[in-house]
Amino acid sequence: MDAYVCVKFRFLILCSLFTIMSGSVMSNSKIHCNKKDMDTLLLFKQGLTDPSGVFSSWISNSDCCQWTGVKCDNISGKVTNLDLPCHTNHPKVVDFGDKEDKSHCLTGAFSLSLLELESLSYLNLSNNNFKFMQYSSMGSQKCDDLSRGNLSGLCGNSTNLQYLDLSQNYDLFVSNLDWISHLTSLQYLNLGGVHLHQGIDWLQSVTMLPSLLELHFKSCKLENLYPFLQHANFTSLQVLNLAENHFISELPTWLFNLSCEISRIDLSQNQIHSQLPKTLPYLRSLKSLVLHDNFLKGPIPSWLGQLEQLQELDLSHNSFSGPIPASLGNSPSLIKLILESNDLNGNLPVELGQLFKLETLRVSNNPLTGIVSERNLRSLRNLKNFSLSSPALIFDFYPKWVPPFQLLNIELGYLRDKLPAWLFTQSSLKYLTIRHSTASFEPLDMFWKFANRLESISLENNTINGDMSKVFLSSKVVWLGANNLRGGMPHISPEVVVLHLRNNSLSGSISPLLCHNMRHKSNLVYLDMSYNNLSGGLTDCWNNWKSLVLVNLRFNNLTGKIPHSMGSLSNLRFLYLKSNKFFGKVPFSLRKCKNLRILDLCRNNLSGVIPSWLGQNVEGLELRSNQFSGNIPTQLCQLHSLMMINLASNKLSGPIPNCLHNIKAMLSSSFVTRKCHFTLNYPGLSVYIICSIPMLIKGNELSYVNVMNSIDLSSNNFSGSVPLEIYMLTGLQSLNLSHNQLIGTIPDEIGNLEQLESIDLSSNNFSGQIPQSMSALHFLAVLNLSFNNFMGKIPAGTQLGSTNLSYIHNPDLCGPPLTKICPQDEKSNNIKSMGGDDSDDDKCQVHSRFYMGLGIGFAAGFWGLLCTVLISRKCRHAYFKLLHRICDHVIQKINSITEM
């Protein structure tokens, strides 16, 4: 036994030594990258630009398993993961001129040579800046450049790839998806934001992926939803996201014949015109059905209530009609029910009140009728978000009813009499919206105290009728537009981010708002006090409000000079002071506002010269109806982002600068009609704000939410000719040079302005002919060339001949739509009138016009011979009639000569 123990002990020692030695050897040996995989990665790198140095470690004399974003198999050394998404910061304020900063991201060609990595299972290159796809193999080429739509074989052999994410490469264009079908192990595919060619057969490609669990084709510019396809072979699909595309068809049958394993369908924000089918037999385990922002119509099918696993149903922003199915109250798993913004009618079913798991119920903006009471909400103990509004609904809650829920967000509309008493029991409420209500908000002290506990309060088009001078507001978002509020300025907390008091009856000075003691740094970003009765000066307290991005004080009675302290608003992007009584010069201190995008000072009494110190970010310059004088500074030509120039109704003089073609934003139609909006991003709060732009377009002054390329220099004293360079602005949509002293002609180059919708050159000294090239301006809706010295015939064209008011007081103009007939047309009409109108034979009429120019005797003799020998008896009758007319004409000429 002792010998046995000794042998065993020795054996264990040997095993231990071997383990230590083998571990040491293994620790000193390094798994190196597969040589073929390294060459493939280096080939992929060649087609890219790397601004931030992501590929700095990608060098050929190093181990590729140690490269940034690369992961290898521990045994084989083959590449299994490539993870290089681009991370971008989302600023607090994002407006219409801002693009997500991707200057540090990878850009260039995305090469499908990566698919030759045989062991690659994870590939994430999302949120970069790829421009197109191409395939270039190191050996025999299997694929051509996919951006040209060519495919000659199998693109790569990466059959192990399970995860592929190229989303948010917004400039990437893909014309072919055949390469997708060979990735037979793919479980996750995300091409969201990638531009897929409209003719691409995307569905056939993805249905050949037997293991696919998630498919994300959001915002891919897809148009074909295959409405006639009966079945799609999605055997494992769980997530389908086709949101924000351009589908214009009925919902296809294949969409509702998916495997019962599917758990989510998302087709939001598409353009689908159809009805939901009457049955949905294969979706018993469906958990989320999201179809919002489409054009779906017809009744909501009652069988949706039979989907026992359904947790989310979003059919909002469509055209569904009929009643809300009471059967939805039989869905025990339902958590979100969103049906707002449709054409649903009838009562709000009381059966919905038994959905005890329901957290979101949104049915606003439907023509619902009937009474809403506690019966409709009786068992919704988990309800967090509630939205209900309809002009015909009657709210009838028991005054002492205490709900079983604590809401986070509530939106109500068209309330009458009083606010529901249970509203004030919601101690967890953060967001309150009440619109179009005549209900009393009394006692106001109690209401404002309750509102100050909220993060956001939005009251619009109500009848509050309250004095705001002693009110203190502390919510982050205070949106109180059109409530007939009166009195002086309220006081606000430094925590307020948005203050919107537009279109009320507020009066007095704005000093109580701006000049009270600020112990803490202000967070105010948005200030809109427009359309009130404010008076006095702008004060000089703007140094306390450096976070402001938008200031809107239009249409008040404010006066005085624009204070220099406004130059301290370094974040300012939108400044609207239109229709007040400001005077003096525009302060030079505003040059410090380098982020300024829109400067609207129209309809004041400002004087001096046009500011030449404006920053490069200015996109709209609105100085109409002031007292500005001097020339247009050539510095404006260096503002490459400028899209709107309105200097009308001032005292400007001199020539129009010949450098306007340097304004890049007006050189291309790609800049046309960008929407004016911005988003405020804060933790737990995102506010989307649309800002209007007042412009005089097509003879009417309207507020636009889209920025248009426009130049308005009307009603000044400009002289000289219009520089040819202005006709190089091919993105220009509106041009108004009326009521000046301009001379010269309209050149043929005006036909280059293909985007032009409105042009006014009236009340100048233009001369010459109207060029025929203007008839090619297909978008032209408004034309005014009146009160000039144009001559000749008006070119034919539907855009040019709509009304004679466009051409009046041009004595030498002729032709339709004017009544004055051009000489060449008059001569042609005379010939027609003398050419045998009574003849029934077209050949006779043609011959008669021809022979009129050959002399009476020759014409008559030849015509008679020709008609007698060659033509019919009708032609002989025409001959005698023609001869009679010729004689009468000759006699009239002789008589007129004799009288002279």
User: Please, how many CA atoms are within 13 Å of residue 315, restricted to the half-sphere of its CB?
Assistant: 23
Mean pLDDT, rounded, of the chain:
81
**How many degrees, rounded to 5, is the angle at CA 762 between CA 757 and CA 767?**
110
- Give the pLDDT confidence score for residue 323 in this predicted structure: 95
User: What does the alpha-carbon distance between residue 629 and residue 648 come to, in Å, rounded to a whole number?
Assistant: 11
Answer with the residue of higher pLDDT: 541 or 843: 541
Residue 467 DSSP one-character state? B
Quickly count: other Cβ atoms within 10 Å of residue 652's Cβ: 22
- Give the pLDDT confidence score for residue 24 in this predicted structure: 40
The residues facing 122 across adjacent strands are 81, 163
The residues facing 460 across adjacent strands are 435
- Give the pLDDT confidence score for residue 871 in this predicted structure: 38
- Give the pLDDT confidence score for residue 706 in this predicted structure: 59
- Give the pLDDT confidence score for residue 340 in this predicted structure: 93
User: CB burial class (10 A; 0-12, 13-18, 19+) of residue 354?
Assistant: middle
- Give the pLDDT confidence score for residue 213 in this predicted structure: 80
Structure confidence by residue, pLDDT tens digits, 722-780: 999 999 999 999 999 999 999 999 999 999 999 998 999 999 999 999 999 998 888 88
The residue-averaged pLDDT of 264-288 equals: 53
The residues near 381 (Cβ < 8 Å, ≥ 6 apart) are 356, 404, 405
- Give the pLDDT confidence score for residue 866 in this predicted structure: 38
Structure confidence by residue, pLDDT tens digits, 78-91: 999 999 999 886 55
User: What does the alpha-carbon distance between residue 690 and residue 588 come to, in Å, rounded to a whole number?
Assistant: 29
Q: Is the pLDDT of residue 586 over 60?
A: yes
Closest to 146 (Cα-Cα) out of 174, 108, 110, 117: 174
Q: Is 768 left (phi over 0), alpha (psi -120 to 50) or beta?
A: left
The residue-averaged pLDDT of 509-530 equals: 87
Q: Is the pLDDT of residue 528 over 80?
A: yes
- Give the pLDDT confidence score for residue 712 in this predicted structure: 95
Which three-class secondary structure string do you get for 582-643?
A: EEECCCHHHHHCCCCCEEECCCCEEEECCCCCCCCCCCEEECCCCEEEECCCHHHHHCCCCC
Q: Is the pLDDT of residue 276 over 60?
A: no
Q: Is the pLDDT of residue 92 over 60?
A: no
Structure confidence by residue, pLDDT tens digits, 383-396: 999 999 999 999 99
Percent of the chain with pLDDT over 90: 52
- Give the pLDDT confidence score for residue 653 in this predicted structure: 96
Residue 109 DSSP one-character state? E
Confidence (pTM): 0.77
Q: How confident is the model at residue 23 (pLDDT cuts 50, 70, 90)?
A: very low
Percent of the chain with pLDDT over 70: 75
Structure confidence by residue, pLDDT tens digits, 596-605: 999 999 999 9
Lowest mean pLDDT among 216-220, 465-469, 576-580, 591-595: 216-220
- Give the pLDDT confidence score for residue 461 in this predicted structure: 96
